[in-house]
Chains A and B, each alone.
Chain A
Amino acid sequence: MVEKQGYFGNYGGRFVPETLVPALDELTTVYQALENDTAFWQEFQSLCHYYIGRPTPLYFAERLTAHCGGAKIFLKREDLAHTGAHKINNAVGQALLTKKLGKKRIIAETGAGQHGVATAAVAALMGMECVIYMGSDDIERQKLNVFRMRLMGAEVRPVSSGSRTLKDAINEAFRDWVSNVSTTHYLMGSVVGPHPYPAMVRDFQSVIGKETREQSLKDYQRLPDYIVACVGGGSNSMGIFYPFLNDKDVKLVGVEAAGHGLETGEHAATLAKGTLGVLHGAKSYVLQDKDGQILATHSISAGLDYPGVGPEHSFLKDSGRATYASITDKEALEGFQLLCRTEGIIPALESSHAIAHTVKMAPTLKKDQIIVINLSGRGDKDLDIVNQALGAKQ
């Protein structure tokens, strides 16, 4: 599949300043050597179990299923992982890698704040210095997560350039990295960025898909028919998709943020509306204007509010192995409320996009079919936003 190192078909690569190339080479070497490093994976698994609380349950959402009146709906409960989202899987993996690199300082970008919180947690766990870059608009809408990061000893640096959201936080993290590359590891939070990040982050996140596959076979003696996951940069979706890529009967569905609607231009549906471009070190679909300037995006969920997408998703879209849908802010809010009321589970607004799409799909499917939603995070961080959005309506 990979024709050139770091490429998924035509997507990926390493478009970075020369200063970073040696660090990426080193990272690639260390990461590739992990394949045969049983001690590393034992430590990773041990932390997955004792620190993160894995395996997370594959939970049958009986009342949601009854409400939709079609396929059986299961939730992969990443919301129950330590720090409240799947982001911790990758953060633990890369923090262990940082130790191998002999570096003592970690930087990261964050959108919704979940990756920032996960990174702050592992930095505290391993006694490393930690700086988190976060768009000043995102800081405003995710105050609780900012407080959590600071409690765990991370410094949160607001980024007020550009659109003041995730993409600008990534730019600023790259600027820090290029200035401190000898001491610092950039703990990227999604399957984006230059090689080896898209593959490496996917590998750490694929613990989600591996567990889902095993749990499905053990509990139900079969594989799911559909897997549905939200896509911003695309790490929770790649993580659950990847172990199923060779199971051709398992349909993989990514759900992007349609914001105020695809036709309004105010959305973050990169695979639906983007074109081939280079952003943050990789060639992939990108939301851009005709001059190649990156567009401002909109989503009610900060974690999906990103004009790029992981290169492997672009590859899966073109190959047809995965399909991609999109869900508006309004639909996501409905999905959010529905899960709260039917199951007593408050989902993250990101994951609510996957729920909303499943609610559309399930009634069209047979009752013996199975849909697994990757419930990538919990919604505590979003309560202010939801309160505002619902308050405005009522």
Chain B
Amino acid sequence: MSRIESVFKQKNHKALIAYVTVGYPSIEATLKVVPLLAECGCDIVELGIPFSDPMADGATIQRASFKALENGVHTALCLATAKKLSKKTSIPLVFMTYFNPIYQYGLAKFCNDCVASGIDGLIVPELPPEEGDELENLTGKSGVDLIYLLAPTSVEERIKLVAHKSRGFIYLVSIAGVTGTRTELPPELGKFILKVKQFAKQPVCVGFGISTPEQAAQVAQNADGVIIGSRLIQLMETDDAAMTATQMFVKETRKALDSIKV
């Protein structure tokens, strides 16, 4: 069982997954915030490797990516940062990035270096299973979970395909859209999660748009976990040095998830 899978084996526990862009607002901030996120109740942290053309991201993560690139962040530095983080925290770490940065790094070398840096999984938002053969092979050999995504537009055939191929969990995109906070989630989301769960042997986690503890709890009624990105980035943008607001938000979200009767 992979370290990611074992997160979901805890009884009566909904997973809380956080996303941060590596190097935003600084590498030091990333090194500081990830262990805090773990302490406040995050089960997994996604580390975003910034890309110059983030087509699946809304304004918040775009801004974070551009700033991180200005700060000189690149793939090797993200791997080095992950290595430091994996010594500071025991929760699973997952890279989330677009295909081109890791393609240039060399897919095989990247997978090896992920293992050496304590990375447990990989999410590539613009890599559908049809294009994923090579990376599936390499991650499979390295023991890195390649996590595929599903969207509200996915038909049954594609749900089956992703359920067959995704490792660790399935990343279910809550809405047809880009990343970013939303005041409301689509009413049909709950039904869609249940439909995916009919086919999925692995856990199903929902991301995109989740911005409040209430939304997290609502989604986790049906899902095995929730993923929060843009909201955390926004909090970090204005937070104090101790990251008080970020910690408080994560704790409240943890509490909301723990209050769900399973």
Contacts and interface: CB of A to CB of B under 8 A. Distances in A.
A292 interface: yes
Contact of A278 (B103, B130, B176): B103
B158 A21 contact: yes
B52 A17 contact: no
A162 B56 CA distance: 14
B178 to A, nearest CB: 5
A181 B56 CA distance: 13
Nearest to A19: B151
Contacts of B151: 17-19
A91 interface: no
A173 to B, nearest CB: 9
Contacts of A22: 153-155, 158
B49 to A, nearest CB: 9
B104 interface: yes
Interface in B42-81: 51-56, 58, 62, 66, 69, 74-76
Contacts of B125: 17
B91 interface: no
Contacts of A15: 99, 126-128, 131
Contact of B126 (A16, A175, A277, A292): A16
A167 interface: yes
A291 to B, nearest CB: 4
Nearest to B104: A292
B101 interface: yes
Given A278-B99, A279-B53, A175 B131 contact: no
A231 B215 CA distance: 48
A167 B52 CA distance: 10
B100 A278 contact: yes
Interface in B87-110: 98-105
B150 interface: yes
Interface in A38-61: none
B219 to A, nearest CB: 18
Contact of B66 (A21, A162, A182, A280): A162
Interface in B114-154: 125-128, 130-131, 148-154
B160 to A, nearest CB: 13
Given A22-B158, A281-B126, A293 B176 contact: no
Contacts of A171: 53-55
A100 B144 CA distance: 43
A179 B176 contact: yes
Contacts of B158: 18, 21-22
B173 interface: yes
A19 B173 contact: yes
A250 B98 CA distance: 40
Contact of A175 (B58, B153, B154): B58
Contacts of A325: none
28 contacts: A13-B130, A14-B131, A15-B99, A17-B149, A18-B150, A18-B153, A18-B162, A19-B152, A19-B176, A21-B128, A22-B153, A22-B154, A23-B153, A162-B66, A167-B53, A174-B55, A175-B56, A175-B178, A178-B55, A178-B176, A281-B126, A288-B104, A292-B51, A292-B75, A292-B103, A292-B104, A293-B74, A294-B100
Given A16-B126, A161-B62, A280-B55, 19 more contacts: A18-B151, A18-B154, A19-B177, A21-B130, A22-B155, A162-B53, A167-B53, A171-B54, A171-B55, A175-B56, A180-B176, A181-B153, A181-B176, A277-B100, A277-B104, A281-B126, A292-B100, A292-B101, A293-B69
Interface of B: 51-56, 58, 62, 66, 69, 74-76, 98-105, 125-128, 130-131, 148-155, 158, 162, 173, 176-178
